[in-house]
Amino acid sequence: MSKAKRLITLSLLTACVCTIVGCNQKVDLDNMVYKKKNIVIQNFEGLGVEWGTYEDPDKLSSGSWERSLKIMNRLNPQVTRCMLNYDWFITNFDDKGDNDKTNDTWEYNFSNKLMNNTIDVLRYCNDHDIDVAFGCWNVPGNVRADEYDMFEEVTSDIRWAKMTVDVIEYLVKFQGIRCIKYFVNSNEPNYTGQMYSSKNYNNTFEIWSKGVANVRKELDDRGFNDIKIVGGDTTGFEGTDEYFTGISKSKTLRKQVGDYGFHVYCPNMIIDTGDLAVRIKQMYKKTKKNDKDLGKVRMPHVWEAGLYDGKDAATDSNAYIANYSYGLRMADYTLQCAISGVSSIVYWDFDDGMHFIYKEDGTMTSKGWGMFSSLGTDSAAKQRLRPWYHSSVLLTNLMRRGSQIFDSGVNDPKYDKNFRSLGVIGPNKEYAGVVAVNRDAKAITKTFRIGEDFKDSGKIYVYIYNENELKIGEDGFVRENKVLEMSLKDQIELTIPNDTLVVLSSKEL
């Protein structure tokens, strides 16, 4: 029996001595070995969460803010997306009574609670080495009034670029914010909607591209050459395909954007069948044909990641958000993105307390997509950390910036729609780990081994995420279920219960 084979006894994982590993089949579906030949990302950029300006910071007590920061500390993201509205700051707008937009003037009032909150969020990111995609949801103006006359030209309006860089300049030069790495040239430009209910109704790829060119020039002219522009920030595969094709085919636009960024709210079926990875790979391949720098200079990023099923449009909440399955699917989502070459993923979203639905009667209710709610006015159940927070903590702490990501080589759903895994070697080879999901209704047994070198701790921290076995420590945060005195360089055999995420790590997460 090989030295690498050890007996693993776990109360929840059926352990056994594996005497015969492998067989004559061409593709080995039982033994996962993560080797150099299967590296899919050489320099992963990390995981994170949408953490934007709180639309009504008055609703936050000092206690809840402190709690939110503790929760953020444990999540330990390396990338976030922070969005705001310019409407919050623009004052004394004067269009001079003519149609000439070049002579319009306006001022900013940055001394308000919304900017204060934005700065609090960004300072935290500054202090914790978090890369931020910063942006503005839409052009300013009331959705029915369009008082700045911007809805026709949307972000190609010449004033948009100036407003954008004015705000960035204030944050960088006057507030010392250094974490803004990307600018989001409006949220989901391909999601146009209808006049009077959307400011974006007239947007097109051409309009958006013109806006990108204007912003790029303004950023460069004012010395912000290091802030990149998100290439798309589109939603859905079809709209994203249009933008990615447009960007990748344009030599000019390729230089103006910093990545290929998109949002995916994925139907459960697509995740459950492993089809998400198939789709992203197709899109990646198609884009790569036009842009050889995809994956080298311009990386693919998911800037909003969430699940589509369970969405209640009336409340803009997800009915499954507190289910364990949400965490399992989001982990599977992450895994499928990573093995498809997506270099960072930002989950939607951190805290229910950030965003609201505003009703005609003047009341507002929080949107339920978060990992918890910081609102004291929400029920105790909503304030609790939801299961998907804990599964996300495991992934954000394992899949760090600078990591190598390894495919198993057998993740294609043609082999097995219900099982997927990836290997991780952390930055500077400081640690290694494995992420595996069993989406089957029955337990499965597999072996795992990291086939490349890393600084071995001689321990394996085993984390199990399912409804029965997730272990929460006294501090309220996820803990390992077991520590094995062995190495991930060895071949370990695990029986993974049904509907379960397993994370193995040579360091404590």
Partner 1 sequence: MKNAKIIYGACITALLSIGALAGCKSKSGADKYDKNGRLILELKNVYFNNWEGADTYTETLNEMFQVAIRPTNYVYGNWDEMVNVAINGDNLTDVIHFNLKAYNFGSTYEKWVDGQIIKALPDDLSKWPHLQEMLSHVSNIDRLKYDGKLYCIPVMSDIVNYEKDFSNFTYVYRRDWAKQIDEMPVNVNNPNYIPIYKEGDVYTWEEFNRLLAAFKTHIKDITGTNQSIPLVDQPWAFPSVTNFYKEVPHCFVKDSNGKAINAFTSDEYMAGLEVAKNLASETIYSPDQGSFTEENDKAYQAYKGGFAGVLYDNFSLANYIQLREYMRKEPKLDDATALMKVKGPDGKFALEGTENWFSATMFNYDISEKKMNKILDIMDYLLSEEGTRLAIYGKEGYDYNIVNGEVELTEKGWEKGADGKYAPKDNGAKYLRYMATLGNDTKSFDPYTDMDAYNILNAWTEEMKQAKKDGLLRVVKEPADIDWMSTPTKNDKTEGLLADANVSASKYAMSYKGFDKNAYLDSFKNASWERVLKEINEKLGK
Identify which of residues 325 and 447 has a Cβ nearer to partner 1 in the complex.
Answer: 325
Which one of residues 63, 267, 458, 476 is an interface residue with partner 1 (CB under 8 A)?
267
Residue 241 binds partner 1 (CB under 8 A): yes
- Per CB under 8 A, contacts with partner 1 among 352-391 are 381
Residue 268 binds partner 1 (CB under 8 A): yes
Find the shortest distance in angstroms from Cβ 273 to partner 1. Answer: 7
Binding segment for partner 1 among 263-271, 295-303, 370-378, 392-400 (CB under 8 A)? 263-271
Q: Please, what is the Cα angle at 127 between 392 and 124, to 5 degrees?
A: 60
Which one of residues 93, 308, 415, 477 is an interface residue with partner 1 (CB under 8 A)?
308
Q: Which residue has the tokens 């080879």?
A: 429
Binding segment for partner 1 among 3-11, 107-115, 305-313, 462-470 (CB under 8 A)? 305-313
Q: Is 184 helix (H, G, I), strand (E, B) or coil?
A: strand
Maximum Cα interatomic distance, the chain, rounded to a whole number of Å? 86
Query: E-strand spans in 278-431?
Result: 299-307, 311-312, 317-318, 344-347, 356-358, 364-366, 404-407, 419-425
Find the shortest distance in angstroms from Cβ 194 to partner 1. Answer: 8
Identify which of residues 210 and 311 has a Cβ nearer to partner 1 in the complex.
Answer: 311
Residue 313 binds partner 1 (CB under 8 A): yes
Identify which of residues 15 and 501 has a Cβ nearer to partner 1 in the complex.
Answer: 501
Find the shortest distance in angstroms from Cβ 309 to partner 1. Answer: 5
Q: Is the dihedral of CA 423, 424, 425, 431 positive or negative?
A: negative
Residue 4 binds partner 1 (CB under 8 A): no
Which one of residues 95, 104, 309, 469 is an interface residue with partner 1 (CB under 8 A)?
309
Residue 157 binds partner 1 (CB under 8 A): no
Binding segment for partner 1 among 99-107, 206-214, 298-306, 309-317 (CB under 8 A)? 309-317
Site string for partner 1, 398-437 (x = CB under 8 A): ----------------------------------------
Find the shortest distance in angstroms from Cβ 319 to partner 1. Answer: 3
Binding segment for partner 1 among 82-90, 153-161, 261-269, 477-485 (CB under 8 A)? 261-269
In the structure encoding, which two tokens stand for residue 77, read together? 């993201």
H/E run at residue 49: strand 46-50
Identify which of residues 237 and 260 has a Cβ nearer to partner 1 in the complex.
Answer: 237
Binding segment for partner 1 among 15-23, 57-65, 80-88, 269-277 (CB under 8 A)? 269-277
Residue 65 binds partner 1 (CB under 8 A): no
For 361, other C-beta atoms within 10 Å of its C-beta total: 6
In the structure encoding, which two tokens stand for residue 161, read together? 């670029």
User: Do residues 387 and 324 make contact, with C-beta atoms less than 8 angstroms apart?
Assistant: yes
Residue 467 binds partner 1 (CB under 8 A): no
- Per CB under 8 A, contacts with partner 1 among 182-201 are 194
* Three-class HEC string of 430-495: CCEEEEEEECCCCCEEEEEEECCCCCCCCCEEEEEECCCCCCECCCCCECCCEEECCCCCCCEEEE
Residue 270 binds partner 1 (CB under 8 A): yes
Which one of residues 10, 21, 213, 322 is an interface residue with partner 1 (CB under 8 A)?
322
Q: How many residues does the chain have?
A: 509
Judged by CB under 8 A, the number of residues near partner 1 is 26
Q: Is 210 helix (H, G, I), strand (E, B) or coil?
A: helix
At 228, the amino acid letter reads K
Residue 320 binds partner 1 (CB under 8 A): yes
CA distance 291 to 297: 10
Count H helices, E strands: the chain?
Answer: 11, 25
At 23, the amino acid letter reads C
Among 34, 6, 1, which Cα is nearest to 409's? 34
Residues sharing a CB contact under 8 Å with residue 220, sequence separation 6 or more, in sequence order: none
- Per CB under 8 A, contacts with partner 1 among 432-451 are 441
Bond before 332 cis per omega within 30 degrees: no
- Per CB under 8 A, contacts with partner 1 among 218-237 are 236
In the structure encoding, which two tokens stand for residue 221, read together? 């002219």
Q: Is 410 helix (H, G, I), strand (E, B) or coil?
A: coil
Binding segment for partner 1 among 23-31, 88-96, 304-312, 427-435 (CB under 8 A)? 304-312
Binding stretches for partner 1 (CB under 8 A) = 194, 236, 238, 241, 265, 267-270, 272-273, 308-314, 318-320, 322-323, 325, 381, 441
